[in-house]
Structure 1
Amino acid sequence: MTPRLSVDFVDAGSVPATDRGLLYGDGLFETLRIVDGRMPLWERHAARLLAGCERLRFPPPDTTRLRAEVGRLVAGLTDAVARVTVTRGSGERGYAPPPSPRPTVVVAVSPLALDARAALDGIAVRVCDTRLAAQPLLAGLKHINRLEQVLARAEWSDPEIGEGLLRDIDGDIVSATAANLFAVFDGALVTPVVDRAGVAGVARAEVLAVRDVRVVRMNLARLLEADEVFLTSAVRGILPVRACEGRTWQAGPAARALQAHWRDIGLPSPTGRKDSDR
């Protein structure tokens, strides 16, 4: 199915060639799942989008109107994914931001199909050679410059590999290419810091809100000592990791409990297959 698209709340499929999102990656995006018209994590998506606009210093969109636009485009779809992109808008040539920016808002909605086996049996992951650069000014933001993730994802084509783990320049694990990471050590739940690189995912925020989690720096050797490892994504949900670098795991109690929480908030287990985002 062709995605349903709108630009600045009007059905359209293109933006001006002068848009700073296209020219410089000057913008933000959110990827959310909608089930039977419901958006269980909307408030977290909206809060992150507003905080990101403040950090990048351009006016935020009206999130009430934005939610209504997503709802309009998703009408008739029982399970869907929406990508909301907000850029600083068009401007003069050069890096200097326009003094009075008029942001561009793009919404794209598509039907969603996910791999049920990933949630049930877990996925195999690889460690990427591509490293994430340290940039505290952008760390945590879901900005639209994803070239590091593009390069990392280009490292493999094996369909048996479900994700790739990304490290920073010091060798610490940050996340997967399109998900955040959690591990369990002796019953304690931990997740990597994202203060120098990486995205502070919406699903990650949900887990931090409902579970006792330590936010730590963690290298690969330490990760491979974990009793349980899983990934989190606002669209794909909770994905147990079953294999990495020769180490294998079973889906553990922490992942299963959080999968139950996802069902409780209205995000059922997937029934098909498609890539998505955190």
Structure 2
Amino acid sequence: MAGQGGCPVILVNGQPSQSLPVADRGLQYGDGLFETLRVEAGEPLHWSRHLSRLQTGCERLGIPPPDAAVLHHEALTVLQGQPRGVLKIMVTRGSGPRGYRPPAAPAPTRILAWNAPAAAPSLTVSEGVDVRLCRMRLSRNPALAGIKHLNRLEQVMARSEWSDAFQEGLMLDTSGQVVEGTMSNLFLVRDDALVTPDLSHCGVAGITRARVMERARAWGVSCQEDSVRVEDLWRADGLFLTNTLIGLWPVRSLEGHPVSVPPLVARLQQAL
């Protein structure tokens, strides 16, 4: 099973399809979760990490998690003949009656889709990106913090604030804490130590974020999760962004002001 000409390959509950029932709660209410995985040499990278986060999200929302073996088989089916690209997994609570109340015995919907890889980043992007601050704020809700739920309207609104002059925008929450980028996690470099925003109130606990923290600590580099305010960004020795698809992007400017790229950032970028 393979897509032609870069067209997406999609399975819905194990069957080729490009449609969902109108009553599906993922469509109606954003009642579900998703994972985005990088595919190299025909394999979804860091599968166990993504599966663990998906299962955690299902437990948090009270959605029966998909069977791990079934999900892996469907992923390999979608990726057949595709050496590189992006695998997106979505799990919704499935269809239900009208109204917010979840069905007592939900029948979740599994959606797996492959897409062609994005164009390779330019040398300029790999050396550093230009970042801005977004006006849109993230709502604080510890019950949803960390998981990758389908409600992404805040990110959609934030991303609509600029064209291509910047590669990413940083988002604050409603209390003024810097949380993350619209599609990435944030790290600050301070005196050869790392700080990443605390995500106990909102934000997505990224897979690459966790890998950076593990690698830094293995090197003996201090890495803390802490509250971050805008003024902390200006005082930092360096900034960088992470996500599954981009890996690590050094920040070369914030709001048009130059930002240094310390050697530690380049070392982490190479390690990832």
Partner of 1:11: 16
CA contact (8 A) 1:118 1:240 kept: no
Partner of 2:93: 88
CA contact (8 A) 1:133 1:169 kept: yes
**Identical aligned pairs, as a percentage?**
44
Q: Partners of 2:172 and 2:12 in 1: how far apart? A: 35
1:152-231 paired onto structure 2 within 5 Å: 152-157=158-163, 159-212=164-217, 213-231=223-241
Partner of 2:147: 141
Partner of 1:112: 117
CA contact (8 A) 1:224 1:247 kept: no
1:126 has 2:132 as partner: yes
Larger mean CA deviation between 33-42 and 171-180 belongs to 33-42
Q: Partners of 2:39 and 2:269 in 1: how far apart? A: 17
For this pair of structures, how many residues does the alignment match?
A: 261
Structure with the greater relative contact order (CA < 8 A, sep ≥ 6): 1 or 2? 1
Q: Partners of 1:261 and 1:40 in 2: how far apart? A: 15
The verdict on how the C-alpha distance between 1:123 and 1:12 changes in structure 2, with shifts beyond 3 A counting, is same
The residue type paired with residue 238 of structure 1 is L
Backbone CA RMSD of aligned residues: 1.3
Secondary structure, aligned partner of 2:43: coil
Q: Partners of 2:267 and 2:74 in 1: how far apart? A: 33
Q: Partners of 1:8 and 1:253 in 2: how far apart? A: 46
* Deviations, residues 166-206 of structure 1 (Å, cap 9, x unaligned): 00111111000000000100111110011111111111111
The verdict on how the C-alpha distance between 1:67 and 1:252 changes in structure 2, with shifts beyond 3 A counting, is farther
1:242 has 2:247 as partner: no
Secondary structure, aligned partner of 1:161: coil
Partner of 1:265: none
Q: Partners of 1:93 and 1:149 in 2: how far apart? A: 27
The residue type paired with residue 29 of structure 1 is F
Runs of 4+ in structure 1 displaced over 4 angstroms? none
CA contact (8 A) 1:28 1:143 kept: yes
CA contact (8 A) 2:43 2:83 kept: no
The verdict on how the C-alpha distance between 1:32 and 1:118 changes in structure 2, with shifts beyond 3 A counting, is farther
Larger mean CA deviation between 130-139 and 107-116 belongs to 107-116
CA contact (8 A) 2:90 2:111 kept: yes
